[in-house]
Every structure is written in structure tokens, then in C-alpha cells.
Amino acid sequence: MSLLKYFKKSENSSNVCPSNVCESMKNNLPTNISACELEKVHESLRVVQGWKRKRTVYSEKDKQEISKYAALSGATAAIRKFHQKFPHLTESTVRPWVKSYKKSLQEQKSVNPSNVVPKIGKPKGRPLLLEEELDIKLRSMLTSLRLAGAGINIHIVRGVLNGLIRANPDKFGKFVEFKVTRSWTRSLYQRMKFSRRAVTTSRPIITRSLWVEVRSQFLFDIIEKALKHNIPDELIINADQTPSKFVATDNVTMAAKGEKHVSRTGATDKRAITVTLCESLDGNILPFQLIYTGKTPRSLPNIEFPPGFCLAYNEKHWSNETETLRLIEDVLMPYITQIKEQKSLPQSQKTLLLWDAFKAQSTQKVKDTLSSYNIESVMVPKNMTHLLQPLDLTTNASFKKFEKRAFSEYFTTCIMEALQNEPDRDVTTIQVDLRLSTLKPRHGKVMTELYHHFQSQRGKEIIKAGWKAAGITDNLSTARKNNKNVIKDNPF
């Protein structure tokens, strides 16, 4: 029986809304039409009128669940199983998912069998700069290193990537020149759902007016003495102590977003020595003074250091009056004597020494020793070393970065060697050798490498940049050019 006789013909049938038609039909529903037949008519009217229902959006998790079932039981069985949740699911929708599921499953099993997460949909966003297989291996290795407690930073990411490329040059050789930039590393962290985390530090508040006042006085003292005694750049020296840890680690690593507790192997390891660095205005680095913890010479590492290195030891590895006097006798004086001979300067030629107001460097005995060697001193203002001391502005930061990178490479190498010998080993069970008998010689070699680094052209540039950042280079150059102190009188 035709259903058209139950509907009133509209003058503008093209604009009839299916919902209105169905509502009219419900009000005039004959007794011989069931609800099931009415639903079928409702669907047919939607098709006839060209009305499109809202498209069903399937999440990646839903696609994986449906595809996994369909791969085992068939597309038809999957449609029946998920009919309640997805009533409009069709075989033409499921079959491409199953194909992508099987392909992704096979590819990931060959790369990382222990952690297979097949992907159905196409990846969103910009395409990867590396091949997908190489990118998966890189992320897997970084995750393993982080689980083992290693600190992850841009240097470790670069080292792991280079290692993976060198391990398979035929396949990944085209990425040898790939540059690991900070922006790319940030995107890598985001794709891994990790973020760069840092430990916060505090410093005393320095107002701009206070900084201008103290800086002017500091520069005035330096320029006044440099001009008065005609001191060359080679004899204007800055000295400073800095701690050097055997387990030098970053305060920044890779961690899950929102994680409050960020652990790291070696974070609480306080074993360290004190290193005294000395540098001159013309970019020279003087031999290091290394102060170890111990009571006998046996506490010193049994390796050969560069000539001129001053090795010392005491119970707390701290610099004190005795070590300060040794610094003057064994590090400063040999260098000063050498410069005077090279430039044919008299023994009465003055030297200018800049260092901070450390108690051990302000004793009367130290002052008398400096005076006997014709060494003038200027103290860096308290709480201003991070703003005015050349060593703190560039050299110390480069020193820390170098030793942290060296330790990270050692840590990473130990873990990778263990995984190379036992690929299936649980990374959390890998123990890195952190005994002093192992760390001391390795640390001593790092100190030697650092000394040679600062002797290179790049090292000299870093040293000179510190003096320039403190304002000493430009102000002293202008004062010498005008043959008078740019700050004519003491402004304070």
C-alpha cells in the first residue's frame, strides 16, 4: 500500500524538512504502521531530501579497538559487536582501518618489539624531519636512559641520535648533517609528552640604582690603578674558586608533564673538589689549582696533569689562607714572572688582581704577601660577582657546561654499553660505576681537557667576553686612549 496518501502535498516540496514530515506522520499514524516501519521511512526521507546526518568521529583508541577485533574475527563480526556504541559503522569504514592496523603492527614490531602501539589514522601536524623508524628508536632510547636515571639534555639527544645514525649508516646516513636545535628538541619533548624541567634558585635582589652605583665605583678603582701603574692587559688578572663535582649533573632533565617529583641519578651526590681559576684580560688562562678532600697525597688522582697545575688537599677540600698563599706562590707568580720576561718589564712592575671578598683572601698575611710581590688588588663587591666578575659572567658557565657534558657522555656510554651486551636487560637494573677510584682519574682528565679548551682560540674568546660583559674592557680602553680615567673623580 502506498504511503503517499497519508501526507498532504506541499506547494514547495523541495523545502520540506524531514523532521516536520515525520512529526506530521506521527500525528496521523495509521494503526497498521509499526514503529519499526516508521523509523525506516524516517531514514529514507533523509536520503530523499538530501539531509546529511552529523558525521561520526572515531578516536584513535576506538579505531585501534575496532581494528584489533576485526583483524581477528572479521569486519562483519566487528560491526555486530560495536553496533550499540557505533550504530552507523560500515564495512567500508572498517576495512581500511584493519589494513592500516596490520601494516603499522608489522612495522613497529621490527623497530621496537617490546612497545608496540599501532596507529590507524594519519599523523596530524607537520611531517617528521627524521624517518619514522629513526625517530621511534631515538624516543625509545631516550625513555630508557631516563628510566635508568640519566639526565637528558640537548647534548645527550644529539649524542644518542648520532650514535643511532652511525650504527646504521646505510639506512640513516643521509641524516649525518642533521642539526639538533633547541626548537627541534622542544618539539621532540612535546611528542614524547615530556617537558624541560629546571630547579629554581634565588639571589639577593639588586636594584638598578644600586648596581649602577657599585659598578661605577668598581670600574673607577680598576681604571685608576691600571693607569697609575701602567699595567698591561696580561697582568690584569681575575681569580675565583668554583666547586667541581665528580658526578656533574644538570638540574634540567626530561620528565612527564605535570610531574611534581623529578628524580635523577646522582642528584644528591655531593662529592666534589674546589677549583681555582685565574684568567687575564688578554684572554690567557692560568694553570688550575685543584683542592681535593684528604689528609695525605694518596687522596690525589694518579694521573699526569699539565705543567703548572697546583694540586692540594685538606679535610674539607675548601680554599683557606694556606691554599690562597699557595695559589699566589705556585700559580700567579710563575705566570707574572714569565710575562715580565716576555715584555722586558722591571720586577717592580705592578700587577692588578681582581677577586671576591672571600675571608681567606682578606687576611693580613695574604695582603702582605701580595704587597711583597707588587700585586695590587681590587675586591669584587659582595653579592655582585654574578654581575661584575669576568669569570662568573662567561668562563665559569662554560666550565660547568663542559664538565656536565663530559659526565653525561660517560653515564650514557655506560648504559648503552650495558644494553649492547644485554639488549633485553631491564634498564632500571643498570648500575653506573660511581666509585671515587673510577671517578677521580676520569675527572682529572676532564680538568686537563678543560685547560686545553680555554687555551684554544674559542676559549680565549669566552674569556675576553667575560671581561667585556663586566664593562672593564671598553672602559679601560677608552681611559687609555684619552690617557685619563673616564670617571674623572670618584663619584661616590
The domains of the chain are located at 4-49, 60-111, 132-192, 229-248+259-482
| Beta carbons of 85 and 78 less than 8 angstroms apart | no
pLDDT of the residue at 491: 46
Is the pTM of the predicted complex or chain greater than 0.75?
no
| Beta carbons of 291 and 323 less than 8 angstroms apart | yes
pLDDT of the residue at 397: 92
CA distance 411 to 438: 12
Q: Tell me: the pLDDT tens digits for 361-374?
A: 889 999 999 999 99
Instruction: Give the residue ranges of the chain where pLDDT is below 50.
Output: 1, 11-16, 47-51, 199, 201-202, 489, 491-492
| CATH 3.30.420.10 applies to domain 229-248+259-482 | yes
Q: What is the Rg, in whole angstroms, of the alpha carbon atoms belonging to the chain?
A: 36
CA distance 329 to 335: 10
| Beta carbons of 404 and 272 less than 8 angstroms apart | no
Overall size of the chain counted in residues: 492
Cell numbers at 269, concatenated: 651526590
pLDDT of the residue at 105: 77
Q: Tell me: the pLDDT tens digits for 220-266?
A: 999 999 999 999 999 999 999 999 988 877 666 666 777 766 666 65
Instruction: State the residue for C-alpha cell 658557565.
Output: 397
pLDDT of the residue at 48: 46
pLDDT of the residue at 287: 96
Which residues are 290's β-sheet partners?
A: 275, 311
**Cα-based angle 136, 141, 147 (whole degrees, multiple of 5):** 125
**Residue 93, amino acid:** T
pLDDT of the residue at 122: 62
pLDDT of the residue at 475: 92
pLDDT of the residue at 446: 93
